[in-house]
Structure 1
Amino acid sequence: MSKRILVTGGSGFLGSHLCERLLAKGHEVLCVDNYFTGRRTNVAHLLSNSGFELLRHDVTFPLYAEVDEIYNLACPASPVHYQFDPVQTTKTSVHGAINMLGLAKRVQAKIFQASTSEVYGDPAVHPQTEDYWGRVNPIGPRSCYDEGKRCAETLFFDYRRQHGLRIKVARIFNTYGPRMHPNDGRVVSNFIVQALKGVPITLYGDGRQTRSFCFVDDLVEGFLRLMDTPDEVTGPVNLGNPYEFSILELAEKVLELTGSRSEIVYRPLPENDPIQRQPDISKAKDLLDWKPTVQLEEGLSRTIAYFEVVLRGKPGG
């Protein structure tokens, strides 16, 4: 059955891929973005679709629309962007959640929150399970994002308890793929852009810190499966790739796939940057029958191909 679906942050990296998938399933999509980090070029190819509508709007202000489902993805998600205006970042997470939850309450829509593995902070348990409460610095330079997302989760569950809202909360681990912002400061885009430009690849710390990277197509599939679960399934559910590897290994793989001769240089580790980040996805496997299927080499190759087009000055796809 066709639904009318609101996607906030819909012209961003994740949002644009989600809009594509929803349209492909026959739904009408209202894509909302203020273009702080999202880009119109990410959804330009969707504008000719009669089921797609694009609206410039900041979720820190109320929005009135008649929709069946809401995916709340609006928030800058990379340190270079969310630290640029930390007060606005917190407002986007907290006021944005309040406004979208208020809309969901008014129109009785099901609502999905794109939360983050950052709610675990610099974790003292490994890998991270959803029942771990986290180890977050509430006053550090990353707190605007970490604590904003934690507060948004609180709001979602309080709206469920107090108003009976149908909620879904996903905790997203590191994700990569086409349409990443080339200047977002994230490690995958950094390494690929540096390698393609032939400039030194910057590693922070000793390169032994680990991450787990999920390709965007796999992540969006997880979104859709979580949204389609029965109402009693609320999450939070970890969505990410449990295959863990070091940042140095990632840099070496990017160099191999690009054929770049860039050298690797080392810089100090940023404050509060977690040393380990790996999801336990047992819940996603059990509840959603979901696990990542795109291997790192394939995903990196597709992402590199995208950035090759971007760096030639074309919008890419």
Structure 2
Amino acid sequence: MRKRVLITGAAGFLGSHLCERFVKDDYHVIAMDNLITGRLSNLEHLMPKENFEFYHQDVSNFIHVPGKLDYILHFASPASPIDYLKIPIQTLKVGSLGIHNCLGLARVKNARVLIASTSEVYGDPEVHPQTEEYWGNVNPIGPRGVYDEAKRFQEAITMAYHTYHGVETRIARIFNTYGPRMRLNDGRVLPAFIGQALRGEDLTVFGDGSQTRSFCYVDDLVEGLVRLLHSDYTLPVNLGNPDEITISDFAEEIIKLTGTTQKVIYQDLPVNDPKQRQPDITKAKEILDWIPKVSRGEGLKITYAYFKGLSKDELFKKEHNNFEEYIK
């Protein structure tokens, strides 16, 4: 019989790629999403598959799945600064009530849980590159706090269920990931730059551009997640590409990639925006035998081709009109 996996946040960027991978690997995939930020179009190509089913459900309210479950992957959460402003309470609820429901279900079903934590648990780091032993530098009441603290609580309750109830758990700290199916105008730097280039707008860099990010292509990340799920390691593991780049240099890369003639303009840095972001992936290398294989140049070409294929309505759609609140 096929193994059965529940994936929450299945209609989102990462969730949809995970659904695709597990369907391809011949699991029975139960996809769950309330579609508050996810899109059914991300899953349309999987709907006809006999080993795929979709539940339109809010995991913060309850989770009911009939039959056995082997694995639960909790990826339900808003994942962009614009979303934190738009739906802050829902962001906190899915990282607390949502994970509580997932862990309770795992306990009943005797299933293994993998949670999507994030590099944001490190906040604006005082340690570089970031190792799993670093506890972070997070402002709990800042604009990013609803996401950062939700993820930190999610890790804490996951470890509590593991140590107290004996639930099989895995924790992935995911660094910046990109690829097809990202939302173009959600405020994250990569789709923001590509969207501005495609619309003929100047590329907006916040701060002086010296802050850094490290971008991992989605296929590499999914492979790391699958390996972590099937490993015996229960403590957090960083998953990301350590190839670090400044935001200014990255803007120039996007201009070169898209062939546009726009210039780079600079605005004030948002509150609590991390100055550095680079994963130490020593544990992933040693425990999972995993390293990213797709270069940023190769991954960006694929991602740009995806965004170029979007309709004009999608290209010019504004996800939120209060982004100015975030950067104050």
* Superposed pair shares fold, TM > 0.5: yes
Residue of structure 1 equivalent to 2:128: 126
User: Residue type matched to 2:8 in 1?
Assistant: T
Residue of structure 1 equivalent to 2:318: none
1:248 lines up with 2:248 in the alignment: yes
Residue of structure 2 equivalent to 1:97: 99
Residue of structure 2 equivalent to 1:165: 167
Separation in structure 2 between the aligned mates of residue 53 and residue 314 of structure 1, nearest angstrom:
27
Residue of structure 1 equivalent to 2:260: 260
Separation in structure 1 between the aligned mates of residue 2 and residue 259 of structure 2, nearest angstrom:
45
> What does 1:186-201 align with in structure 2 at a 5 Å threshold?
186-201=188-203
Once structures 1 and 2 are overlaid, which stretch shifts more, 115-124 or 259-268?
Answer: 259-268
Query: Any runs of at least 4 consecutive aligned residues in structure 1 with deviations exceeding 4 A, and if so which?
Result: 312-315
1:228 to 230, 233, 242: 230
Look up the SS of the partner of 2:307 in the other structure: helix
Residue of structure 2 equivalent to 1:302: 302
Residue of structure 1 equivalent to 2:184: 182
Displacement of 1:34 after TM fit? 0.8
Separation in structure 2 between the aligned mates of residue 295 and residue 2 of structure 1, nearest angstrom:
34
1:106 to 101, 105, 108: 108
Displacement of 1:139 after TM fit? 1.1
Residue of structure 2 equivalent to 1:37: 37
For 1:283-305, what per-residue CA distance to the aligned partner results, in whole angstroms no more than 9, with x for missing partners?
Answer: 00000000111001111110100
Separation in structure 2 between the aligned mates of residue 55 and residue 222 of structure 1, nearest angstrom:
26
- Tell whether the 8 Å contact from 1:194 to 1:262 is kept in structure 2 after alignment: no
Separation in structure 2 between the aligned mates of residue 74 and residue 255 of structure 1, nearest angstrom:
33
Residue of structure 2 equivalent to 1:280: 280
Displacement of 1:314 after TM fit? 8.2
Look up the SS of the partner of 1:89 in the other structure: helix
- Tell whether the 8 Å contact from 2:84 to 2:143 is kept in structure 1 after alignment: no
1:291 lines up with 2:291 in the alignment: yes
Look up the SS of the partner of 1:169 in the other structure: strand
Separation in structure 1 between the aligned mates of residue 219 and residue 314 of structure 2, nearest angstrom:
22
Displacement of 1:88 after TM fit? 1.4
- Aligned residue-pair number: 313
Separation in structure 1 between the aligned mates of residue 202 and residue 2 of structure 2, nearest angstrom:
49
- Tell whether the 8 Å contact from 1:120 to 1:132 is kept in structure 2 after alignment: yes
Separation in structure 2 between the aligned mates of residue 81 and residue 228 of structure 1, nearest angstrom:
31
For 1:153-189, what per-residue CA distance to the aligned partner results, in whole angstroms no more than 9, with x for missing partners?
Answer: 0000000111000000000000111000012110000
Look up the SS of the partner of 1:83 in the other structure: helix
Separation in structure 2 between the aligned mates of residue 253 and residue 134 of structure 1, nearest angstrom:
30
2:156 to 154, 167, 170: 154
Look up the SS of the partner of 2:172 in the other structure: strand
Which 5+ residue runs of structure 1 have no aligned equivalent? none
User: Residue type matched to 2:274 in 1?
Assistant: P
User: Residue type matched to 1:55 in 2?
Assistant: Y
Displacement of 1:70 after TM fit? 0.3
Identity of matched residues, %: 53
For 1:194-231, what per-residue CA distance to the aligned partner results, in whole angstroms no more than 9, with x for missing partners?
Answer: 1111111111001110000000000000110000112x
User: Residue type matched to 2:25 in 1?
Assistant: K
Separation in structure 1 between the aligned mates of residue 275 and residue 196 of structure 2, nearest angstrom:
23
User: Residue type matched to 2:192 in 1?
Assistant: N
Which 5+ residue runs of structure 2 have no aligned equivalent? 316-328
Separation in structure 2 between the aligned mates of residue 125 and residue 314 of structure 1, nearest angstrom:
39
Displacement of 1:250 after TM fit? 0.9
Compute the TM-score of the two structures, normalised by the length of structure 2.
Answer: 0.94
For 1:100-159, what per-residue CA distance to the aligned partner results, in whole angstroms no more than 9, with x for missing partners?
Answer: 000000101000000000000111100010011111111111100000000010000000
Residue of structure 2 equivalent to 1:20: 20
Q: What is the Cα-based RMSD across aligned positions, in Å?
A: 1.2
Once structures 1 and 2 are overlaid, which stretch shifts more, 303-312 or 201-210?
Answer: 303-312
